[in-house]
Structure 1
Amino acid sequence: MPLENAPTLTLHHADSSNSGAVVATGIWQVHALADRDAIKTIIKTLASLKDNPKLAWDLSGIVSLDHIGAQMFWNCWGKQRPAQLTLAPKQEELFKRIEQACVAQVVKPRRSRLTAVMILGFGIMSFFEHLRGFIGLIGQVVQDLLRFARHPITGPWREISANIFHAGFQALGITALVGFLIGVVLSFLSAQQLRTFGGDMYLVNILGMSIIRELGPLLAAILVAGRSGSSITAQLGVMRVTEELDAMLVMGISHGYRLIMPKVVALAISMPLLVVWTDAMALIGGMVSAKMELNLSARYFLQKLPDAVPLANYVIGLLKGVVFGTLIALVSCHFGLRIKPNTESLGHGTTTAVVTAITVVILADAVFAIIFSDVGFD
């Protein structure tokens, strides 16, 4: 039984030059095209009219048209609009979507013709662009700190406290574990060498100087960069994706004063405390290993430690903690604010922030080693 308003094609005024007009009527939707006999006829008719640029098409008489029916016409036209085409207003939007999808599939990625010099140039330009943004971020944080100092009562104390808890207190476990294990390994390996030369008493000097001056601050900074730095970047990135940052600007809330400055202050406070904690755990691990390998008692270890490590090394370690924490927070916030509102940029930005933060920390540690090369070796 034929369906009411069945899809039909009518060719008018055809002549020997293959010119004419094709008028489509009826319902061109998937349920109407499901009729086996009707679809065979339509496919045969469309095949005979395929790739004929002289035909004029009139689809304005179609009662309703969905994507399936429109795709049949599009394939018949050779995936491009014919020169003479009449559409209803609703059909125009449907064919525009099909046309855009077709263009997206046809466009092939262009082969990159960038030379090594051009790649180097783009890399240098990107570096200086990041450097400019980073310096601007530092200036903004300084301004926010001055504002905070002038009006401490209205400052973001709750945000600072929350960031100290997340970046500092919750990192005690992992820093203690890594610090203890590093102390055990360093003490064990040093004891093996010192035993050969009979220099067992110098184990305290090696552990004290290496852990308090170098390894403790560096280990704590790397762990915080991987743990808290990625968290800061991801948090700001998600706020960008969900448009929370834009909403804050609309409400007149400063990103720097409520988001960035509290994180910088919190890490500047937390990192020195984490450095002391990591140093203590590493020294405990070293004492345990020294007791097992060289039979050095904990009392001997603690008595010799103040003489082996001058006070200046403790100060340098704490200063490193403040600088490392500030740099980690600034780098993480810098990349977090540059994330675009899509998930791909979020993952890439978080990874880049962690790698950059660790690199900056190691560079800063090298600068400290050069500046304080003659300090703390009395």
Structure 2
Amino acid sequence: MANSADFVQDALADGRQIIRLSGNFAIATIGEVDARLRDINSPVAEIDLSGVDHMDTVGAWLVHRTAKEHSAEITGGADDAGRLIDAISGVDQTDVVPKPHISSLNRLLAEIGSGVIVGITTLLQFLGFVGQVVKASFILVMNPSRFRWHAVVQHFDMVGVRALGIVGLMSFLIGIVIAQQGAVQLRQFGAEVFTINLIGRLTLRELGILMTAIMVAGRSGSAFAAQIGTMNITEEIDAMRTIGVVPAEALVVPRVIAAVIMMPLLGIYASLMSIIGGGILCWIVLDIPPATFVQRLREVTPMTDFWIGMIKAPVFGAIIAMAGCFQGMQVKGNAEQVGLKTTAAVVQAIFLVIVLDAFFAVFFSEIGWD
């Protein structure tokens, strides 16, 4: 082509040379000029663009690269070509900036610090959410016509009735494990009869309620988070706010009430199933008849153990329901967030339940309910 890209080389007295470009420096007309410019080995002092008719981005990049390789000065040419070359040189980031070295200790401290900040932030947000739920509860008490009784009954079914099978089986097996391990250890001292003490007190005071709470957290707490999170993604909660419905009143309070009421009932049921499991094992392994087992159980198990479990149960239920609803309300963006927040709801609920159980253990011990 007549106006294809080309260049000539003029030697200077000091051994360097001037490259004079000419023609159309565009992607369609550069041709073999790229390879010829790469083959230049002698030093270049100047690249003259006076003979260039037109230049596009590819041509500008070719000129900039050649000038950079030889540390040459670019002269001549139209203003448009100069501005294009300046723009190309502005985005040329071939130099890699080395990343600062971070020691393993600094990285560990940074991760710990980030975790602490996230934990404190989440705790403050959760406390604020608890305040919203308490406020919504008072408003519903003052305005009973706004309370959604059918939603509470529906959650009774999901939290309580549908959980009977798995809670009963888990508690029955835990009772067997407690009895078996207690019998093995106490047999060394000829005190197998005290296995009944272990089953009764440990089941009614601690494990019956605690294991039920963990099961409800994994089952119902996760369901609350997934349900509300999905409603967040589909903008149903925004629609509720638009029509004047308060989400805390319509979604959170019924779930919290259902969990608070059903947890003591599930705790009693779980304790009974655990005692039955332990009693069956004592009957089979230790030859303790059911009548003797029940009589001994009544003698060694104080009513305070039962009341301790009943005090803890509604608190655990409220914490589980509010943790699930709180994480569901935090869902933003896409469906992946639903899974992440559901997992966070289960972890948060179980963690808070265990922390509160430890607090109750110390508190009741201090007031003399040993």
Match for residue 342 of structure 1 among 306, 331, 334 = 334
The equivalent residue for 2:237 is: 245
| Matched residue SS, 1:177 | helix
Q: Kindly provide the amino acid, as one letter, of the partner of residue 240 in structure 2.
A: M
- Give the Cα separation in 2 of the matches to 1:20 and 1:275: 89
Aligned to 1:97: none
Q: Does 1:327 align with 2:316?
A: no
The answer to whether structure 1 residue 192 and structure 2 residue 184 are counterparts is yes
How many residues are treated as equivalent by the alignment? Answer: 312
Q: Is the Cα–Cα contact under 8 Å of residues 4 and 30 in structure 2 kept in the other structure?
A: no
Deviations for 1:95-118, whole angstroms, at most 9, x for unmatched residues?
xxxxxxxxxxxx99x889564444
SS of the equivalent of 1:246 reads helix
Question: Could you tell me which residue of structure 1 aligns to residue 249 of structure 2?
Answer: 257
Structure 2 distance, partners of 1:203, 1:117, is: 47
How far did 1:348 drift?
A: 2.0
Could you tell me which runs of 5 or more consecutive residues in structure 2 were left unpaired when the two chains were aligned. 8-19, 38-48, 63-78, 82-95
Deviations 1:29-64 (A, max 9, x none): xxxxxxxxxxxxx8xx6865879997545xxxxxxx
Cα deviation for residue 267 of structure 1 reads 0.7
2:172 touches 2:277 (CA, 8 Å); kept in 1?
A: yes
> Which residue number corresponds to residue 213 of structure 2?
221
Superposed CA RMSD in Å reads 3.5
- Mapped to 1, the partners of 2:294 and 2:125 lie a distance apart of 47
Distance 1:123 1:18, change over 3 A: same
Instruction: Please give the per-residue CA displacement for 1:348-374, whole angstroms capped at 9, x wherever unaligned.
Output: 222222112111111111001000015
CA distance in 1, matches of 2:61, 2:264: 71
Where do 1:140-151 residues align within 5 Å?
140-151=132-143
State the match for 2:274 in structure 1: 282
Counterpart-to-counterpart distance in 2, 1:18 and 1:162: 82
Conserved 8 A contact 2:24-2:30: no
Task: Give the TM-score taking structure 2 as reference length.
Answer: 0.74
Q: Which amino acid in the other structure matches residue 297 of structure 2?
A: L
CA contact (8 A) 1:310 1:376 kept: no
CA distance in 2, matches of 1:308, 1:356: 35
Of 284, 299, 305, which aligns to 2:291?
299
Conserved? CA contact 1:221–1:325, under 8 Å: yes
Unaligned runs of 5+ in 1: 1-9, 25-41, 58-72, 86-106
Which residue is equivalent to 2:260?
268
Distance 2:252 2:33 in 1: 65
Alpha-carbon shift at residue 20 of structure 1 (Å): 5.5
Q: Which moved more, 1:357-366 or 1:196-205?
A: 196-205
Match for 1:171: what amino acid? A
Q: Report the TM-score when normalising by structure 1.
A: 0.72
* Code of the aligned partner of 2:232: R
| Residues 310 and 11 (structure 1), Cα distance of their counterparts in 2 relative to 1, 3 Å cut | farther
Identity of paired residues, percent? 36
Q: Distance between the aligned counterparts of 1:246 and 1:302, measured in 2?
A: 56
Distance 1:219 1:369 in 2: 15
Cα deviations across residues 176-209 of structure 1 (Å, max 9, x unaligned)? 0110001011111212233332323322211100
Q: Is the 8 A contact 1:242 1:341 kept in 2?
A: no
The aligned runs of 1:1-378 (5 Å cut-off) are: 16=7, 18=21, 55-57=54-56, 115-373=107-365, 374-377=367-370
Q: Which amino acid aligns with 1:364?
A: L
| Distance of 1:364 and 1:276 partners within structure 2 | 19
